[in-house]
Amino acid sequence: MTLPDLKLGLIGDNIVRSRSPLLHRLAGQQNGMNVQYDRLIPKDMGEDFDTVFDQSARRGYRGINVTYPYKERAFQKVAVSDPLVRAIGAVNTVIFEDSGPNGFNTDYSGFIAAYCGARGKAAPGISCLIGTGGVGRALAFGLLALGADEIRLVDRDQDKAETLATELRAAGEASVSVFERAEAAAEGTTGLLNGTPVGMVGYGGAPLAATAMSGAKWAFDAVYTPVDTQFLQDADAAGLDIISGYELFFYQGVQAWAHFSGKPLDEAELRRSLLEQEAMA
């Protein structure tokens, strides 16, 4: 059996359809590397998250990605050198070093790249963000960096949303408020963002009523399986510019690859290869 040049993994629930294994294998091929990228689903492995994470280095993983619902838990287990990532309080990329695991957040930088790719230098304006968990926190700090005038947070866990609001006010100049209902928060907004798993395969529906989208200009969905979520379908029907979660998936993956390998990528070729392989699947 040929050993891989690089062994990676993804820890999360409901990740059977994740395209991350394909992205990293194709990134490896560009660099003449044999990359093994495993889906690590705790319940399917008969282990809890802590065991899967804590055993990853011993099992030969150079690094792992972390997705819903474990990003904030992973943050508690790693060293984080970037003060911004410490403020976000969640990691989606982990490198195992002899000194211990180091954590990074490429959701934050990936969202900024996805937003700028779609809207250029246009400011986010008044933004309604639904979901303040791991990816939601990254999106919120991304909105700050992009110059949002106002950020409205919605979460079933009001304490979590209030905590994030306090942290955002301390970190930037945007007005930040917390709403109980997404429809109320969406009124009069420029941008609508879904940072929840609602709409993902296995979590059907949409986090916001279609009738509440009227008047907004753009919408982003962190979900990318499926790419064409109900949330984005409703936004498109309402005439909004849409930013697919696929763009976040792509850019966070490109930036995670840089952490994992230190190797370069032809991003245009990687995107082309991904789309080609997905069409054949």
Q: What is the pLDDT of residues 56-67, one digit of tens each?
A: 999 999 999 999
Q: Tell me which residue of 7, 2, 3 sits closest to 24, measured CA to CA.
A: 7
DSSP 105-144: -HHHHHHHHHHHHHHTT----EEEEE--SHHHHHHHHHHH
Residues 163 and 93 in one domain: no
Residues 13 and 92 in one domain: yes
Residues 94 and 162 in one domain: no
Q: Burial of 169 by CB count in 10 Å (0-12 exposed, 13-18 middle, 19+ buried)?
A: middle
| Active-site option among 71, 77, 217, 263 | 71
Residues 201 and 260 in one domain: no
- Kindly state whether residue 1 falls inside one of the protein's structural domains: no
Return d(Cα 142, Cα 128) in angstroms, integer: 13
What integer pLDDT is reported at residue 2 of this predicted model?
84
What integer pLDDT is reported at residue 241 of this predicted model?
97
* 3-class secondary-structure state, position 105: coil
Whether 263 is catalytic is no
First to last CA, the chain: 26
- Kindly state whether residue 200 falls inside one of the protein's structural domains: yes
Residues 138 and 226 in one domain: yes
Residues 265 and 202 in one domain: no
What domain range is 190 assigned to?
Answer: 108-244
Q: Tell me which residue of 189, 148, 195, 196 sits closest to 169, measured CA to CA.
A: 148
What pLDDT digit, counting tens, does each position of 135-192 carry? 999 999 999 999 999 999 999 999 999 999 999 999 999 999 999 999 999 999 999 9
Residues 134 and 33 in one domain: no
- Kindly state whether residue 281 falls inside one of the protein's structural domains: no
Residues 142 and 201 in one domain: yes
The pair of three-digit structure tokens given for residue 134, joined into one six-digit string: 């791991």
Prior bond of 69 cis (ω within 30°): yes
* 3-class secondary-structure state, position 270: helix
Chain position carrying tokens 């990293």: 24
- Kindly state whether residue 77 falls inside one of the protein's structural domains: yes
What integer pLDDT is reported at residue 278 of this predicted model?
87
Residues 112 and 240 in one domain: yes
Low-confidence residues in the chain, pLDDT < 70: 1
- Kindly state whether residue 227 falls inside one of the protein's structural domains: yes
- Kindly state whether residue 151 falls inside one of the protein's structural domains: yes
Q: What angle do CA 92, 247, 188 make, to 5 degrees?
A: 100
Question: CATH number of the domain that 212 lies in?
Answer: 3.40.50.720
Residues 133 and 159 in one domain: yes
Question: CATH number of the domain that 97 lies in?
Answer: 3.40.50.10860
Residues in the chain: 281
- Kindly state whether residue 79 falls inside one of the protein's structural domains: yes
- Kindly state whether residue 280 falls inside one of the protein's structural domains: no
- Give the Cβ contact number of residue 189 at 10 Å: 24
Residues 208 and 255 in one domain: no
Residues 37 and 75 in one domain: yes
Return d(Cα 193, Cα 216) in angstroms, integer: 11
What integer pLDDT is reported at residue 35 of this predicted model?
98
Instruction: Tell me how many domains the chain contains.
Output: 2
